[in-house]
Structure formats: C-alpha cells, structure tokens
Amino acid sequence: MLTPKRMKFRKQQRRRRKGLEYQGNYVAFGEYGLKALGDCWMTSRQIEAARVALTRYIKRGGKVWIRVFPDKPVSKKPLETRQGKGKGATEFYAAVIKSGRVLFELEGVDLVTAQTAMRLAAQKLPIKTKFVLREMTHA
C-alpha cells in the first residue's frame, strides 16, 4: 500500500475539503482518465483496490498512472478511551480528493476496454466519478 517514506510532522489537522480542484484536473499522461465528482478522503487501501481492479481487467495491455497519493496521516483514539491525554496514533494515510481531480489515467487499450476497466475501478472508490478522454479536458 502507498505510504509516505518520511514526513516533517507525524500528525496533521483535518482541514477543509470543500471546493474544486485547480491542479491535476485534466488528463496529462494517458488517453483516458477517471475524474472525481465529489470530495472525500481516499485511503491507501481504496486506491490500491481500484488499481488492482484496473490492471486485472486490462491484463498488462496498457499503462496506468495513479495521479493521487495518500500523504495525509489520519489519527484515531482507541475505543472506550477518555478524552484528553493528547491526539491518537496514526491509523491510516489518506489522499484529500476535491471535485474535478483526475484519479487514474490509462493508455494503450481501446475505448471500450478502458471504459469497462475504469467502471470496475470506480466501484472500489467512495465517491462518484466520471470517465473522461484527453480531448474532453484542456491540455
């Protein structure tokens, strides 16, 4: 699974995730893309599950780019623990996804195969997504 190699700080505050994505909102590398239509924290497990579904369907036929990386540590206090005594330990890492972000890109396969593969990957993700082509986005 994806985790950062090293970080400046072990714990982060939660922050906002409303609004649109202004970076990474177009297909840059491949021919086809999977674009987020909502906001979420996408865990490294969800990204990996989508990647496995995508690569299994195309059967080493094309090239896949993962355009998001889980670099936000999400901490959680143990169950049945009283408040106070500091922030909990890091439970998992998440990528902050805003609406409009391209999550995955794909090339080297035909349109029908790409659409089916992206649909299978989208079923593993916690938000609604849209299949996009390179021509549909600016670049």
Q: What type of residue is 111?
A: L
Domain layout of the chain by residue ranges: 32-77+86-133
Q: Looking at residue 137, what is its pLDDT?
A: 59
Q: What confidence tier does 136 reach under pLDDT thresholds 50, 70, 90?
A: low
What CATH architecture does domain 32-77+86-133 belong to? Alpha-Beta Complex (3.90)
Question: What tens digit of pLDDT does each residue of 28-48 get?
Answer: 999 999 999 999 999 999 999
Closest CA to 3 of 69, 88, 96, 102: 69
Question: Does the pTM of the predicted model rise above 0.75?
Answer: yes
Question: What tens digit of pLDDT does each residue of 55-81 get?
Answer: 999 988 899 999 999 999 999 999 999
Answer for the pair 27, 111: CB distance below 8 angstroms, yes or no: no
Helix (H, G, I), strand (E, B) or coil at 119: helix
DSSP code of residue 77: P
